[in-house]
Amino acid sequence: MPANSKYLNPSFWPRFSKITAAILGGYFVSVTFHLALASWFNRANVLITMAFSGFILWVALMIIAFLAKSGWKVWGVYILLSLLFCLFIYWGQTYNTAQ
């Protein structure tokens, strides 16, 4: 049974934005989140844990990207989250090296 045509998106850019947000944006958020944790907690433990929890978080972010109506909004949220986590990384490295 073929898919209902009203649910298919014939345009290239919305499909492209969802796919890239799912793959690249989800990866950036997952990595920056774990690096932010590593800058505040024991780096070795967080990075070892990242091998498993990073993949699970990445897959969850992929699913969220495909469930959203607009891929560009997902990109915006993922970029903002990545920048927020980068700020936490900066604060963590600044605070923990000053001690």
Per residue in 8-66, pLDDT (tens digit) is 666 888 889 999 999 999 999 999 999 999 998 888 888 888 889 999 999 999 999 99
Within a domain: 86: yes
Read off the pLDDT of each residue in 71-78 and give the average, rounded to a whole number: 93
- Give the residue, 7 or 88, on which the prediction is more confident: 88
- Name the nearest CA neighbour of 61 among 41, 85, 33, 36: 33
> Is residue 5 in some structural domain?
no
Domain coverage including residue 90: 14-98
Structural domain contains residue 8: no
DSSP classification of residue 41: S
Does a structural domain hold residue 7?
Answer: no
In-domain check, residue 3: no
Evaluate if residue 4 carries a pLDDT over 80: no
Count of beta carbons in the 10 Å neighbourhood of residue 36 = 22
In a domain, 2, yes or no: no
The domain tally of the chain equals 1
Residue with more model confidence, 58 or 96: 58
> Is residue 68 in a domain?
yes
Give pLDDT, residue 12.
83
